[in-house]
Structure 1
């Protein structure tokens, strides 16, 4: 089973590359952002709680996210693998994900990090905000807060997987197909290991 963490700050291109990876490898997409947005759209208690936090640029509590992920794992126990998009965001979440996967005799195969500088991220998110309708992509102050939140709390996750020998950084600036080619080369390399 291929279990891949697609990692990078908001606007790095994770959503775009996820679609291509899912199509090629037949993986189940676990995007915490999508899971949370669907809860918000449904107007559930969890969704309303998450919306309040997300509107402030604050991360949703770990136990909520882990619970949603476990439900997806149970629903798709016979999958070819999973792509984790936007999760884990903290070392604590990484440890919780490892423990969760171990209960299913699985583990993370590789973390692929899309590396993009802060200025490019801000420009991409503002541009996306013009068409996405997402309010968190239309406010430059909130965008900068999200990038700072990533830099302060999420980057240490890369070190966590690097210590396990599962971290690979890929330049996230350039042609979409070229970046995808680099991702497929990485997956081929780790799958043979």
Structure 2
């Protein structure tokens, strides 16, 4: 079961990903974590990424795709994986499709957690206020202005990905504004159906 979980910051992707990992036994693959691991392991693509980063440049798509390609060949990803934070652009989505096709694999499903932007910002503002009221420092990600910037970046880049997969018949949209357990019920039902199909193939 190979899937992507989409949704803006604060939509609950991290919470749902953790439950998918536990329920279906597939790893959650973060491009940031994979990049750091490849650099630390000194793999050919990791060394290439390190040289680019040491020069103060952004790691290009082909290097990131190479790191993802290496990672999904590892034993724990043979049953499937959740991609976290990738792809972020149409070019990356195209490159991912091509890379998987070379391996004889396909992406099974893309789950998008749909949220009401204004309510999401209200939720973050409230959480920041409650944190301050307790006398605790507000997490950087919970700063309303930082959050709005991250939301704008998501809308500018990653929000293009949902229509891309919708056109290919792979997108499932779920209401992410409901309580966590209700969202999980739908996520689990959707993925369990996929899992059954994989077993019978």
1:170 maps to 2:174: yes
Q: Helix, strand or coil: the match of 2:88?
A: coil
Change (3 A) 1:15 1:78: closer
RMSD: 3.7
Gaps of 5+ in 1: 54-58
Asked if structure 1 preserves the Cα contact closer than 8 Å seen for 2:17 and 2:28, the reply is yes
Q: Helix, strand or coil: the match of 2:94?
A: helix
- Between the aligned partners of 2:81 and 2:35, the Cα distance in structure 1 is 18
Q: Helix, strand or coil: the match of 1:4?
A: strand
Change (3 A) 1:150 1:24: same
- Between the aligned partners of 2:97 and 2:125, the Cα distance in structure 1 is 30
TM-score by length of 2: 0.74
- In the TM superposition, what whole-angstrom CA distance separates every residue of 1:90-129 from its partner, at most 9, and x where no partner exists? 111111111111122111000000111223433348848x
**Number of residue pairs the alignment of both structures matches:** 183
Rg larger in structure: 2
1:150 maps to 2:149: no
| 1:89 corresponds to | 88
Shift of 1:34: 4.0
Gaps of 5+ in 2: 41-46
Change (3 A) 1:33 1:177: farther
- Between the aligned partners of 1:125 and 1:81, the Cα distance in structure 2 is 36
| 1:73 corresponds to | 72
- In the TM superposition, what whole-angstrom CA distance separates every residue of 1:18-39 from its partner, at most 9, and x where no partner exists? 0100111111211224446778
Asked if structure 2 preserves the Cα contact closer than 8 Å seen for 1:125 and 1:143, the reply is no
Change (3 A) 1:132 1:166: farther
- In the TM superposition, what whole-angstrom CA distance separates every residue of 1:23-80 from its partner, at most 9, and x where no partner exists? 1111121122444677899xx975x949x89xxxxx9642343233122112237621
TM-score by length of 1: 0.77
| 2:44 corresponds to | none
- Between the aligned partners of 1:169 and 1:117, the Cα distance in structure 2 is 13
